[in-house]
Amino acid sequence: MLSEIPGAAGTGAGGPGGSAAPRRIATISLHTSPLDQPGSGDAGGMNVYIVEVAKRLAERGVAVDVFTRATGPEQPPEVEMAPGVTVRHIGAGPFGALDKHTLARYLCPFVFGVLRAEARNDPGHYDLVHGHYWLSGRAGLVAAQRWGVPLVQSMHTLARVKNSALAEGDVPEPEARVRGEDQLVRQADHLVANTADEAAQLIHHYDADPGRVSTVPPGVDLDVFTPGSRADALRTLGLPSDTALLLFVGRVQRLKAPDVLLRAAARLVEADPALRERLVVAVVGGLSGADLEQPRRLAELARTLGIADLVRMEPPRTRAELVHYYRAATATVVPSHSESFGLVAVESQACATPVVAARVGGLPTAVRDGVSGVLIDGHDPADYARVLHRMITEPAWRDRFGAAGVGHARGLSWSATVDGLLDVYRATSATEPLPAAANQ
Ligand code: UDP
């Protein structure tokens, strides 16, 4: 699946088989480690993506080294995350969490550390560099040029797009990031977008060459996220069997708009007071870097709305634990202001639970509107409340979405993601590197 956008098919120069797949790649994940638990801080969908893809690449004979910044003195220089996947900790800047804007200052020592690790361990070993998020791309570019190999870049989120859909009170992404992304779009040998929408944004907002952009959708672990008994799942969570559970999973930050779910829940119990007896709203996830006050504000909001007794704020959960939440939920709600893809939405559907989501970013790809869930324009809690009320009170209607969701999620496996990435890697390796002029 090399590309879903017009023009990008041309990137298939050489196409699958046009060049051999790389034997070993350097994945750069500067600001967050694949060893971190997703759902708080800077760890989210990108971490899941890197882990799932790296494991499956290694299973297909492509060794992956993931370079990430060391955040504590106890971290060994290298950790085998899975057979064929090594996480390399690079010292750059002070230990501890650093926000992404501060991290930009430590790009130089990070790049130096990456180059030194390669020279020490196995010089000339990497066939390709894959950068994730713009900061990693900036580091990856230097390494790729030094090693004379291509740079494939996944942005995951884009500053211009994020800034055009800020939640109230959110701080815009700085101009330095916008400029950094602009440069990277010109300099990377190839760009991988999660959705056709993101590919179009790269082309229209960043002037990317359509011939160097491919769309490769992320996936879902279909062995972990499976349908199961709702009654059992509710029991596991310690909830009565008639509970109507509305679920939010993800980092608790303004951009993800968990407040919209709380406001919708307040409307639900106002309109249908009998629901108060059995409604539960679970917010699963932790603090996120730039938004440290958000969980406290959310708890305050629940009190102000008079639904504090219905809201359960849960710490980040492992994937094995999350399965019970998805299976137990009447619906998973994803009211984000912007979302590059929305793995949570796909995981929920894989567990046969419908998704009620905002029609933004990658969510129209992640959710089949009217089939596996309902997409809503905007963030008016009344609109969410209306759909959620039907999901709760018309189980047959709700279950039809659930059943269709399983089929939709099956089409989004990590294995298909790796097929697409290997096509991109082969094609990029077969293409002449960009001339130096493009790097200005
Ligand atoms: N996640 C998790 N535990 C939690 C909350 C979230 O493992 O407590 C995972 C979730 O399963 C999903 C990822 O974090 O795979 C979030 O990805 P998504 O694309 O929904 O959002 P992002 O973090 O990229 O904004």
Same domain assignment for residues 368 and 400? yes
Nearest residue to 354 via CA among 337, 362, 338, 366: 366
- Are residues 368 and 332 part of one domain? yes
Interval between CA 343 and ligand 1 midpoint (Å):
6
φ, ψ (nearest 5 deg) of residue 161:
-70, -45
Q: Supply the pLDDT for residue 224.
A: 97
Domain assignment present for 155: yes
Inside any domain, residue 236: yes
| Residues 120 and 242 grouped into a single domain | no
Q: Report the pLDDT value the prediction gives residue 7, as an integer from 0 to 100.
A: 30
43 Cβ closer than 6 Å to some ligand 1 atom? no
What is the structure's pLDDT at 435?
60
pLDDT at position 41: 84
For 398, residues 6+ apart whose C-beta sits below 8 A from its C-beta are 330, 331, 354, 390, 391, 392
Instruction: Kindly state whether residues 69 and 51 are assigned to the same domain.
Output: yes
Q: How many whole angstroms from 439 Cα to the centroid of ligand 1?
A: 34
Q: Is the dihedral of CA 140, 146, 147, 150 positive or negative?
A: positive
Contact yes or no for 42/288 (Cβ under 8 A): yes
* Residue 439 near residue 229, CB atoms below 8 Å: no
Q: Which of 156, 249, 318 to mutate to test the pocket of ligand 1 (most atoms within 8 A of CB)?
A: 249
Q: In terms of domains, do 386 and 250 share one?
A: yes
Which sign, positive or negative, has the C-alpha torsion 56, 62, 63, 69? Answer: negative
CATH number at residue 267: 3.40.50.2000
Tokens matching residue 143? 């390494």
Residue nearest (by alpha carbon) to ligand 1 atom 24: 45
Tokens read off for 407: 């089929």
Q: Residue 297 is part of which domain span? A: 230-410
Whose structure tokens read 């800047």? 93
189, 242: one domain = no
Confirm whether 54 is domain-assigned: yes
Residue 7 domain-assigned (yes or no):
no
Q: What is the phi/psi pair of residue 274, to 5°?
A: -60, -25
CB 373 within 8 A of CB 355: yes
pLDDT of residue 357: 98
Does the residue 65 lie in any domain?
yes
124 and 178 housed in the same domain: yes
What confidence score (pLDDT) does residue 16 get? 41
Whether residue 302 is contained in a domain is answered as: yes
* Total domain count, the chain: 2
Ligand 1 centroid – CA 287 distance (Å): 13
- Cα(347) to ligand 1 centroid in Å equals 9
Number of C-beta neighbours around residue 312 at 10 A: 16
Nearest to 218 by CA among 416, 5, 18: 416
Return binding residues: 31, 37-38, 42-47, 100, 133, 157, 177, 251, 256, 317, 326-327, 329, 339, 347, 353
The pLDDT of residue 2 is 37
Centroid of ligand 1 to alpha carbon of 115 (angstroms): 31
Mean pLDDT by 10 residues, the chain (440 residues): 34 46 95 92 93 98 97 96 97 91 93 95 89 97 96 96 82 92 97 95 96 97 97 98 98 92 98 97 84 76 97 95 98 95 97 97 95 98 98 98 97 96 95 59
In terms of domains, do 70 and 145 share one? yes
Q: Are residues 70 and 183 in the same domain?
A: yes
Angle 376-382-388 from CA coordinates, rounded to 5°:
65
